[in-house]
Each structure stands twice: as structure tokens, then as C-alpha cells.
Structure 1
Amino acid sequence: MTTEIKMIYAEAEEQLGVMETEANALNPKAEPEITGNVLEVATKLNSVAKELENLLTTYQTLLLNNVQTSKNSVQYMKEQDEKISAAINGAVLNKPYVTYS
């Protein structure tokens, strides 16, 4: 049983570009802190907002790193396909032909 993976490089690169654009469009900045309010809930909301900002910033960084790693993998696979194709074509073109009479 053989397994064949077909990759359409243009589509993969396009989708990774879309993901990168969307990741860059994320705005992980929290709203300004609530000031002038002595209620405990305001302090808690400020704390939660800061934690959420940190989480979203970390997520954005991780997502952008994953997109870049995926782009590198696609590029590597494309280069390997081209090398294999060139090797196969070279072997076929340099193969001596046998004639039968």
C-alpha cells in the first residue's frame, strides 16, 4: 500500500499568508485600567484584563511562530520535490537505451 501526499504549494502559501495577516491583525491590548473606583470588582477587572492581554500576546506570538515554521516546511518540501524531480529526470535522460532486434 502506498501513501501519496499531494501538496499544492500555491494554496498552502496563500493560506499561510492569510493566517499571518489575521494573526498580525489581532489586537491583544487591554482597555485602559478603571481608575478612580475603589470597588474591589474594578481592581479584579483590571487584573483580569491584564492577564487576558498577556495571554493574547503570547497566543499571537505563538501563532506567528507556527505560521513561519509552516512556511519554512512548505518551502523545504518544495525544494526537496524539485531535487527529486531533477534527479529522476536526470536518471531518465541519461539512461542508455537498449534496442532489440
Structure 2
Amino acid sequence: FNNMTERAELIWLLNRSRVLSAIEKEMSEEERKRAQNEICASDRFGRLCFELVQVDADRWKEEGLEIARDRYNEVLLQTAKSEQLQSNEGLMTVMDDHRC
């Protein structure tokens, strides 16, 4: 089971990297530099990355979801209906762990 989990995570990371690379290739050099200066931050290990989390807590509560944070202050969502997370637009936007 652990092997399958590690392999699935690796495939997911590779596919996400391909998408981000395709987006970066469409940007001009000036746009990439500006994005790196404006968006990038250092994570707790000193690596350059960006993370954007926007949460409308009131709307989540209207949908019956609980908002919690883990020990790194990252947002965790708890719900009995996981499909609800994908079907409700505007509730949360997350972009994370992309190296600049």
C-alpha cells in the first residue's frame, strides 16, 4: 500500500509540474521575473515557493463545513461530503508548493 501511495503522489507531482511548466513557457521573461519577485516566498525550510490560500470562512460555515488549521497553520477542511469541495466555486483557491 505504501508503494502505491508513494507512486501516486509522485505521478501527481509530475503532472502538476508539467502544467506549471506549460504556463511558464507562455509567459515572457519579464513576466516570469516579476512573478518571482512578487509571488515567491521562503517556506519554513528556506526554499523559494508560493502559496496562496483564500478562504471565505462564513461561506464555508453556510455549507456545513468546519475549518481547522494544522500545526503549520495550513488550512484543513472537514466535511462529510468531499464532492462538495469541488462543486462549490469561490469557496477556496489554493496554489501551493511551486518552486519559483
TM class, shorter-length:
under 0.3
Q: Whose strand proportion is higher, 1 or 2?
A: 2
Q: Whose helix proportion is higher, 1 or 2?
A: 1
Q: Which has the higher contact order (CA 8 A, sep 6+)?
A: 1
Scaled by the length of structure 2, the TM-score of the pair is 0.27
